[in-house]
A and B are shown apart, each in its own frame.
Chain A
Amino acid sequence: MVRLMVLWCPTLSREGSRGEEPRRFAEVLDAAVELAPFARPVRLGVLAIPSKGPSRFFGGEAVFAEHLQGVVGPLLGGAGRVCVGAAEGLFAAVLAARAAVLVAPGATGSFLAPWSIATLRDPDLAAACQRLGLHTLGRFAGLEEARVLERFGLDAVRRHRVARGVDGELPGLRDYAALRRLDAVRHRDEPSEVQRGFFGERGGADVRAAAAVQRLEQRLGHGAVTVARLGGGRTPDDRAALVPWGSADAVIEGRDHVAPWPGRLPSPSPASIPSRPLAIALLDEHGHRVTVSSTGLLSAVPARLEFEAGRPRVVAAHCGPWPMAERWWGVSRRRAHLQVLCDDGLAVLLRAERSRWWLSGIYD
């Protein structure tokens, strides 16, 4: 994990009635970027800097921290406190800033141990752990990961990794809405890294497109305009998602996208993916429901396809099924996909899951 220095301005963490905090925090941010170009905001009042480079440049982490406080302090006019802390990973670094300590390299785990379980930002998990007598991160981190998964689920495992100091990115730690506002205040309306053109520059066309999208968002509301995100997965609906324009996680092509996924459904992919699950009935020639056995075989040859609305269709051919048992080590998901070709030329992708058939895509 990267060692981070976090600067926390308690007075700027909450937006007051006059709404001047984002503007003043933007000033703080600009000053920090002058000192260390990789300073990035985390949420309102909190910014993080990879500590290694600047520390070497200024001659030690403590010197750099002092320097940072010296530059930012006057900006707050003496009224505001500036806390600086450093540790491995964002979560530990934020806590270090709260305590205003520079955690020694390698001591992050022992630094985290005495903090309350409530710092993991999950009230349900915290309440459950309190009842079990696990009041601190250290006690929670002492649990076995498999036990945490069994008892609390996948999300808690991420928090468990954070508590152990293995992972620094606690869900909810970064406040993307505040960061977008901050960008607007700093007059940098670049929607995200992804929307850039060749070599990262923004041409005239990109600026015009961004302006048109922003006007449309004002009309229809935030989230009405989306961009596509491709990720890893085996099925079309796993592999792609529409995320709001300008959202920070709009990574169009991650590494997962090109990585091999054994058992991935063959291309071509359906041109139409229903946004909501649509239950359908797949029947054999006697009108009985077709099911998929645990060994991945169909119980009968499909003959008829019935949608919730619209006329039933006659099945001309089918391909598959492709059974998938995913995440058997955790929250397991078993499903099987089937391509069905109807006699009128319609081809659909069906999914058998939780003993029902669902429409997964239309090859339109």
Chain B
Amino acid sequence: MFASRPELPASAVALATAIRPTAPASSRLLPVVEPLSSLLPDGALRRGGTVVVTGSPGWGATSLGLALLTAASTSGHWCAAVGLDDPGVVAMAELGVDLRRVVFVPRPRGAWAAATAELFEGVDVVLARPPARVAHTAARRLLARARDRAAVLVVLAEHRDDWPVPSEIALEVTEAAWHANGRLVSRRAVVRAVGRGITGRPRYVSLWLPGAQGAVAVAC
């Protein structure tokens, strides 16, 4: 009746190897919320990479760094925040971060690099705020560790120079202005993306960081 019959695998193990899918390219990426995707080369965080987030104090660099955790945490990836001794947990909830997937190491007692490296073993995205300018060797070692463990390192710093190694992506808040109407309603921030991962001219995106309900949105 049939011209040919497909070979049956000899055993269940053979079957399992035969039908196992090859790793799709998307597994090397961790999602970010839609408003931020236009800042990143693949529209997502690439595993093994670094993102440096900078901005003047009060301009929304912390919000931007926390917002990068949003989609990763809601899609089930574990995130960590190292060295943020003052995280705005309610603000994180308003940004949409799934707090059940976030661990905090608020005061790593001078061992932030060691703590970050340790967390790469089991956590997909680590947001770290180094206490001072990072030494070149420490930064190199962390990069190698992140690449090895296929995790993402997000560094929060005040100045671009605080992170001594060229990063794939550097996000900088270049402008920020609050809109107030009886209360602080939203902040319009312009974020510039540069780095090795971005070819051509720097990208500029105007965002509500945060918007009226606390989430990030694209401002037109």
Residues of A near any B CB (own CB < 8 A): 194-195, 197-198, 203, 205-206, 208-213, 215-216, 219-220, 224-228, 230, 236, 239-242, 245, 252, 266-275, 317, 319-320, 339, 341-342, 344-348, 361-364
Contact = CB atoms under 8 A, between A and B. Distances in A.
Contacts, number: 178
B22 to A, nearest CB: 19
A212 B123 contact: yes
Nearest to A213: B103
B100 A270 contact: no
A219 B213 CA distance: 39
Given A225-B105, A273-B89, A345-B176, 17 more contacts: A205-B122, A210-B122, A211-B122, A212-B119, A215-B118, A220-B105, A227-B103, A228-B99, A236-B89, A242-B89, A267-B212, A269-B94, A272-B62, A347-B178, A362-B57, A363-B178, A363-B184
B121 interface: yes
23 contacts: A195-B100, A205-B124, A209-B123, A211-B121, A213-B119, A216-B115, A220-B115, A225-B103, A225-B105, A228-B87, A228-B89, A239-B90, A240-B89, A240-B90, A268-B186, A268-B187, A269-B214, A273-B86, A274-B86, A339-B184, A342-B58, A363-B187, A364-B59
Contacts of A272: 62, 86-88
A319 B184 contact: yes
B84 to A, nearest CB: 8
Contact of A345 (B56, B99, B180): B56
Given A226-B103, A273-B89, A219 B114 contact: yes
Interface residues of B, number: 56
A219 B187 CA distance: 40
A225 to B, nearest CB: 6
A225 B109 CA distance: 12
A220 B88 contact: no
B89 A252 contact: no
Contacts of A364: 57-63
A236 B91 contact: yes
Contacts of A224: 105, 107-109
A208 B103 CA distance: 13
By Cβ-Cβ distance, the 6 closest A-B pairs, closest first, are A212-B122, A346-B58, A240-B89, A208-B122, A364-B62, A268-B214
A220 B108 contact: yes
Contact of B121 (A208, A226, A269, A273): A208
B104 interface: yes
A265 to B, nearest CB: 9
Contacts of A220: 105, 108-109, 111, 115
Contacts of B120: 212
A275 B106 CA distance: 10
B92 interface: yes
A320 B176 CA distance: 21
Contacts of B93: 230, 240
Contacts of A213: 103, 119, 122
Contacts of B99: 227-228, 230, 252
A259 B91 CA distance: 18
A223 to B, nearest CB: 10
B118 A219 contact: yes
A345 B60 CA distance: 10
Contact of B177 (A194, A236, A252, A345): A345
